[in-house]
């Protein structure tokens, strides 16, 4: 992710440039110049007021917004080296939202989202290719038919960026041809996702990206990357509304395409912190009403998935386990209502559908790592279905697999974790917890039932104030609690005997990726020599490695920070989100280094943070045998 680290020169002069950048290289022309310049063609202005190129980053070729589609597609594909594939992929769904005409958006976007699931750079390639394919909303069809081409293309494309850029023109030609072919195929084939029928090249392009992503998904890529992809897409979306600071993964054409394909109309936030440009940030408040009105129009989208997406968007469901379970139950319904279209194989078609739904969910809210693992599991199961099974048998098998996953990996895992964790709670303990982790709550309640005498310190922080929910539930059961905010943590830490934390994910180097603020709590506890215990189900562990909280994260609603509810006297920042001189940063997650963690409690037992790769290995072994 080198591109992330190097802030690009922002075309928007109002945006402050943070970080290192070389002399700007104006490049408002079409020529792809991968090495020389990195710029994000902005729809409005091309003049690079401060376009700078990070020496490390291989910039995508610059294209004018007025570039032809093929060229843009080429550029787009060029941009996505494997590390950027994530972003590219995500871009598609997001990008297509606003750009495309309303008619096309809904249908086209579906195909795109599905395909734009995480995948390694290949998708970007595929996306480029797909763009040239005329899309009549046949996401599935194109997916099924194109994979071979895509694969080869992708492989080619995932090679050095340079290659792509130099082949851009060739690609444009290829894409045009492919588009023609796809159009022909589209006519003949059946697409579960009905496109609006508008054969817009953008739609086609959208479908193309969709295809690679679905292919990627089959390759069982972790959902983690999808987060990054989404970030890239939002970038593109933003370009529409505000001067795009930088196109991390792709150039403008991709953003446009992604936007057109996207289901959720996202308008990107105008003023964003430079360091986090690689993450998507949208104007909150505009997405939900828009989506709600579309509920009855979105044919290809299953209502259950739509409902879950809305719940994510509004924040009704939050927390790793809850989101994962909601998503998996929605998928169960999808499977139940599914019927294989004629001339399609269940495996591929179902996978494509799942991919499209996942893209939609990503648009609503970037996936958590645990959700990514769950999706990988589902796709794995679909792929492993024996061909000989009849459709109803296959569907029943899938549904029971998903049910088993939920029960074994989440619900039963929680009981095992509780069983291990209560052995660590002694009479007279003062336990500190932060936020509202489900696993920790179960541990505390169970320990209380066992009659252990302890008291709990709930630490909370703005803007989510999740600790209050936990506090309520604990008090209802009669547990002795204290409540404080995170700025008092060093004050109260001296009386704490143990710290229990939850995690969104634990990565292979032992880093705990969890709600923002967790790292603070863990570090202060470590400084006071208080043991820190992290409760995390095994399905949330991931083989990825993360060194800091910047490279992969999620940005929340800046208005949540600026507005202080109910306290008009200190509501100073209300309404200042539109000020050019002020950028709000509402991070949702942070990464806690493994040195501050004493022990991780999983359903595999109590392990030191160094043993996470071992569990990931065992877990994968278990799944490959299943």
Residues at the contact surface with other proteins, assessed by CB under 8 A: 424, 426, 498, 531, 533, 598-599, 604-608, 610-611, 614-615, 618
CB of 542 to other proteins, least distance (A): 17
- Coil, strand, or helix at residue 506? strand
Give, to the nearest 10 degrees, the angle between helix 391-405 and helix 369-384.
150
**Nearest in space to 279 (alpha carbons), one of 318, 238, 308:** 238
CB of 540 to other proteins, least distance (A): 17
CB of 226 to other proteins, least distance (A): 29
- Give the residue with the Cβ less far from other proteins, 468 or 610: 610
Q: Which residue has the tokens 């923002």?
A: 516
- Give the residue with the Cβ less far from other proteins, 320 or 510: 510
CB of 412 to other proteins, least distance (A): 15
CB of 496 to other proteins, least distance (A): 13
**Bridge partners of residue 555, in order along the sequence:** 587
**Nearest in space to 153 (alpha carbons), one of 144, 140, 163:** 163
CB of 610 to other proteins, least distance (A): 4
- Give the residue with the Cβ less far from other proteins, 422 or 606: 606
Contacts of 156 (CB under 8 A, 6+ apart): 125, 163, 167
CB of 452 to other proteins, least distance (A): 14
- Coil, strand, or helix at residue 227? helix
CB 93 within 8 A of CB 363: yes
Alpha carbon distances (Å) from 185 to 142, 190, 352, 391:
7, 9, 17, 25
CB of 533 to other proteins, least distance (A): 8
CB 100 within 8 A of CB 367: no
CB 553 within 8 A of CB 276: yes
SS3 assignment for 444-485: HHHHHHCCCCEEEEEEECCCCCCHHHHHHHHHHCCCEEEEEE
- Give the residue with the Cβ less far from other proteins, 285 or 608: 608
- Coil, strand, or helix at residue 35? coil
Query: Does residue 285 have a cis bond before it (omega within 30 degrees)?
Result: no
CB of 539 to other proteins, least distance (A): 15
Tokens (6 digits) for 309: 């997406």
Q: In whole angstroms, what is the distance from residue 108 CA to residue 97 CA?
A: 9
Q: In whole angstroms, what is the distance from residue 258 CA to residue 453 CA?
A: 55
Q: In whole angstroms, what is the distance from residue 180 CA to residue 199 CA?
A: 11
CB of 597 to other proteins, least distance (A): 11
- Give the residue with the Cβ less far from other proteins, 129 or 498: 498
**Nearest in space to 626 (alpha carbons), one of 461, 409, 403, 380:** 380
CB of 421 to other proteins, least distance (A): 11
CB of 536 to other proteins, least distance (A): 15
CB 77 within 8 A of CB 171: yes
CB of 497 to other proteins, least distance (A): 9
How many C-beta neighbours within 10 Å does residue 407 have?
A: 11
- Give the residue with the Cβ less far from other proteins, 576 or 607: 607
Tokens (6 digits) for 241: 């509304």
Q: Which residue has the tokens 């924040």?
A: 315
Tokens (6 digits) for 391: 């459709």
- Give the residue with the Cβ less far from other proteins, 110 or 604: 604
- Give the residue with the Cβ less far from other proteins, 578 or 610: 610
For residue 591, report the phi and psi dihedrals to the nearest 5 degrees. Answer: -110, 125
Q: Over the range 37-52, which residues count as b (16 or more CB within 10 Å of their CB) and which as e?
A: bbbbbbbeebebebbb
How many C-beta neighbours within 10 Å does residue 27 have?
A: 23
Tokens (6 digits) for 380: 């794995």
- Give the residue with the Cβ less far from other proteins, 186 or 499: 499
- Give the residue with the Cβ less far from other proteins, 419 or 565: 419
Q: Which residue has the tokens 């800091």?
A: 548
- Give the residue with the Cβ less far from other proteins, 26 or 531: 531
- Give the residue with the Cβ less far from other proteins, 71 or 499: 499
Percent of residues in the chain assigned helix, strand, coil, to nearest 5 = 55, 10, 40
- Give the residue with the Cβ less far from other proteins, 220 or 599: 599
CB of 102 to other proteins, least distance (A): 53
CB of 626 to other proteins, least distance (A): 14
For residue 282, the 8-state DSSP code is: B
Q: In whole angstroms, what is the distance from residue 197 CA to residue 182 CA?
A: 13
């Amino acid at each position: 992710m080198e591109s992330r680290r190097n802030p690009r020169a922002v075309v928007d002069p109002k945006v402050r440039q943070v970080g290192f950048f070389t002399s700007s290289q104006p490049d408002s022309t079409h020529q792809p110049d991968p090495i020389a310049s990195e710029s994000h063609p902005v729809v409005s202005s091309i003049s690079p007021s401060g376009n700078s190129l990070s020496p490390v980053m291989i910039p995508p070729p610059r294209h004018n917004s007025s570039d032809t589609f093929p060229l843009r597609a080429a550029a787009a594909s060029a941009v996505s080296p494997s590390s950027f594939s994530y972003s590219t992929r995500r871009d598609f769904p997001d990008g297509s939202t606003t750009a495309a005409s309303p008619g096309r958006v809904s249908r086209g976007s579906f195909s795109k989202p599905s395909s734009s699931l995480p995948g390694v750079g290949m998708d970007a390639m595929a996306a480029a290719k797909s763009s040239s394919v005329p899309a009549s909303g046949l996401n599935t069809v194109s997916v099924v038919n194109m994979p071979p081409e895509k694969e080869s293309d992708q492989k080619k494309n995932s090679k050095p960026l340079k290659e792509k850029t130099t082949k851009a023109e060739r690609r444009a030609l290829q894409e045009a041809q492919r588009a023609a072919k796809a159009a022909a195929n589209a006519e003949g084939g059946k697409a579960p996702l009905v496109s609006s029928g508008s054969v817009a090249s953008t739609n086609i392009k959208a479908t193309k990206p969709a295809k690679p992503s679905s292919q990627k998904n089959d390759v069982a890529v972790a959902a983690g990357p999808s987060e990054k992809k989404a970030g890239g897409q939002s970038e593109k979306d933003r370009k529409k509304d505000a001067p795009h600071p930088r196109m991390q993964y792709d150039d403008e054409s991709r953003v446009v395409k992604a936007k057109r394909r996207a289901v959720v109309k996202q308008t990107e936030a105008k003023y964003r912190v430079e360091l986090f440009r690689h993450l998507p940030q949208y104007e909150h408040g505009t997405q939900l009403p828009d989506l709600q009105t579309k509920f009855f129009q979105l044919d290809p989208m299953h209502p259950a998935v739509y409902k879950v997406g809305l719940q994510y968007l509004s924040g009704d469901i939050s927390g790793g386990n809850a989101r994962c379970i909601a998503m998996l139950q929605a998928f169960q319904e999808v499977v139940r209502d599914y019927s294989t279209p004629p001339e399609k194989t269940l495996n591929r078609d179902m996978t494509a559908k799942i991919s499209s739904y996942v893209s939609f969910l990503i648009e609503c809210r970037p996936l958590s790592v645990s959700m990514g693992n769950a999706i990988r599991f589902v796709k794995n199961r679909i792929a492993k279905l024996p061909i000989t099974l009849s459709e109803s048998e296959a569907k029943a098998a899938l549904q029971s697999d998903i049910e088993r996953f939920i029960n074994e990996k989440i619900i039963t895992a929680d009981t095992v974790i509780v069983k291990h964790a209560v052995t660590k709670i002694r009479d007279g303990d003062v336990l500190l917890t932060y936020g509202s982790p489900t696993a920790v709550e179960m541990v505390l309640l169970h320990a209380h039932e066992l009659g252990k005498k302890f008291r709990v310190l709930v630490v909370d922080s703005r803007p989510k104030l999740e600790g209050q929910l936990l506090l309520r539930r604990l008090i209802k059961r009669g547990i002795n609690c204290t409540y404080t905010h995170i700025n008092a943590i060093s004050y109260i830490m001296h009386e704490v005997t143990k710290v229990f934390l939850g995690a969104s994910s634990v990565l292979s180097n032992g880093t705990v990726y969890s709600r923002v603020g967790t790292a603070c709590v863990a570090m202060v506890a470590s400084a006071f020599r208080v043991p820190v215990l992290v409760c995390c189900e095994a399905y949330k562990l991931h083989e990825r490695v993360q060194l800091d909280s910047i490279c992969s994260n999620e940005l929340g609603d800046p208005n949540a920070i600026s507005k202080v509810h109910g306290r008009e006297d200190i509501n100073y920042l209300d309404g200042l989100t539109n000020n050019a001189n002020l950028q709000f940063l509402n991070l949702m997650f942070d990464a806690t280094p493994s040195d501050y963690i004493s022990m991780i409690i999983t359903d595999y037992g109590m392990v030191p943070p160094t043993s996470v790769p071992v569990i990931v290995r065992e877990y994968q072994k278990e799944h490959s045998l299943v």
